Amino acid sequence: MSLDALYRFVLGIVFPFHRRCGVFTLSSMPRVHGEHRTLPQLPPDIWLEIFQFSTYIHRAKTIEPLDPFVLTPLSNDAMAVNSHHTSWRTKCALVLVCRPWRKIAIQLLYEHLVMKSPRRAKQILAVLSGSCQSPNDAISSKPPIFSSEYGKWTRHLEIFTHARGATRFHYLQIVFDIMKLCPNVRMLSGSWVAETPDQFLAGIAFMYGKSLEGLYWNEFTYSSAFTPLGFFSAFRALNILDIRHYVGDGKAKNNLPLIISMPELRSLVLSTYPSSLEAANSLILPSLRNLTIDVTVDPAIVEESLSTFLKLHGMTLESVEITSSASSNADRDGEDVLLPSPSRHLCPGRFLNPDTCQNLRSLIFSAKTPQFTPPSHPNLRRVGLRGIKPDSLYPNKACSTRSHLKALTRERFPKLEVVRTIDFLVDAAADFMIPDIFLWWSEKFDKQGIDFQDGAGVLWLYSDADAEANTTEGLEVAAAEVVGPNWVWRR
């Protein structure tokens, strides 16, 4: 019913004789028209940036670990950070709004495809095949090449073989058919339960050998799954290689003459598992800059392999991050990697030796690492500490966190600029003394010309007004009430 008809109906009920008397006419009341609001006239590039921001997930874009020194402020949004579920729901909603939005957002919907089971792989293949255009040259004697309208947007493929039926060759055939419809893939992640056939590995190398930029290969928890080390030699354009869960075929362990050159590789993710380090020692990496090493087993077991790795690649390293198996596996949902939390720690001092890692700029390690005496390093600029607890920041508490912070001095590291408490936010601490204690550490480092920042990259310092209000005596009294009378506040 239109607004005019509704107006006549209501007017006929309230004033049944208005047509006879002629007093009330439609012209005596203003005509109400529905206001059609149009979307803002923004360029498609601006809309794409907005859609990417609202659906962003780091692991959907790349397999490279997120730089701990990238600013990650605390979200004030009620929805908080995007999850895979919320991101997918938002993408599906965007393509249903209107045709212009669908044309822009369709690339986000298909940029990251995850195949967790044969059933899902069949559905993905059906959708990609349904969007195929006609062959480019049907008259040519060469096999026709089909182009998928949706597959051309795919940049990251994830393959899992944990579901029932995923170890069969038929499932791998479906996966390879999907790869043929996604020629622009740049990131490939694979988790394998059983041994992958040589034909399938050769197909991957043929499809993406010249274009793939990132590769993650997981066969850590299954002794029956192993891939020859020579498989990685086909990917000459790799920038990121994650082999923390690589088992291999044992050729690197047997010291066979197998040397693989990856001239463009800049980021490498390893673990203390022997096969991972042994595979890395068989690689020639002239452009390696970033190393993430995951402590999965006792580092003493791989002492010789780790020393060999530092001799081969230590001089080119600029950033080193030491993680634990629990934190690294938490970043990759959907993987059945059940690794116990390591009881041993990898000493960060190994990477501070100027003879092996002279060009090191950034070092990130756990605050729970046992106390060690770091050697002086002439080029270190940034240090990050993970896993800091609020009570470990108290200056009178004997703990590893306090020892690490006190060891970071200008005498040992003349070019040190930033010390950051990774994943620790002062605003999120429940202890009301933490802001003042953090300020104490900030001023202690500030006297040496070093910025002491929390996880959000915030540098906490007293303003002039706060300095007058919060006197030294007042802070000493407040601290004594919390930690005892032996606590001394120095500024």
Residue spans per domain, the chain: 1-31, 347-491
Between CA 17 and CA 65 the distance in angstroms is 78
**Distances 314 to 309, 355, 366 between C-alpha atoms, Å:** 7, 9, 21
- Report DSSP state, residue 370: P
Q: 351 with 317: CB under 8 angstroms?
A: yes
Between CA 331 and CA 244 the distance in angstroms is 13
Say which residues have a Cβ less than 8 Å from residue 117's Cβ, sequence separation at least 6. 160, 163, 164, 165, 166
Question: pTM here?
Answer: 0.78
Closest CA to 294 of 261, 320, 312: 320
Q: What angle, rounded to 10 degrees, do the helices at 44-54 and 99-109 form?
A: 50
Q: What is the pLDDT of residue 179?
A: 92
- The token pair at 273 is 């598992």
- The token pair at 32 is 């109400």
- State how beta strands 362-366 and 319-324 pair: parallel
**Distances 419 to 160, 206, 363 between C-alpha atoms, Å:** 39, 45, 10
pLDDT in tens, the chain (491 residues): 555 665 565 555 544 544 444 444 444 445 545 555 666 678 888 988 888 888 888 888 889 888 888 775 555 555 567 788 888 888 888 888 888 889 989 999 999 999 999 999 999 999 998 887 655 544 444 444 557 788 899 999 999 988 888 888 899 999 999 999 999 999 999 988 888 888 999 999 998 989 999 999 988 655 556 788 888 888 988 999 999 988 876 654 554 456 788 899 999 999 988 888 989 998 999 999 999 999 988 888 888 899 999 999 999 999 999 998 754 444 444 343 434 444 578 889 889 988 888 999 999 998 888 888 888 999 999 999 998 888 888 888 888 888 899 999 999 999 999 999 988 888 877 878 888 888 888 888 988 899 998 888 888 777 655 555 554 444 443 444 444 444 443 33
CA triple 156-157-162, angle to 5 deg: 145
Residue whose tokens read 């030294």: 472
Q: 211 with 237: CB under 8 angstroms?
A: yes
Strand-pairing partners, residue 189, are: 158, 216
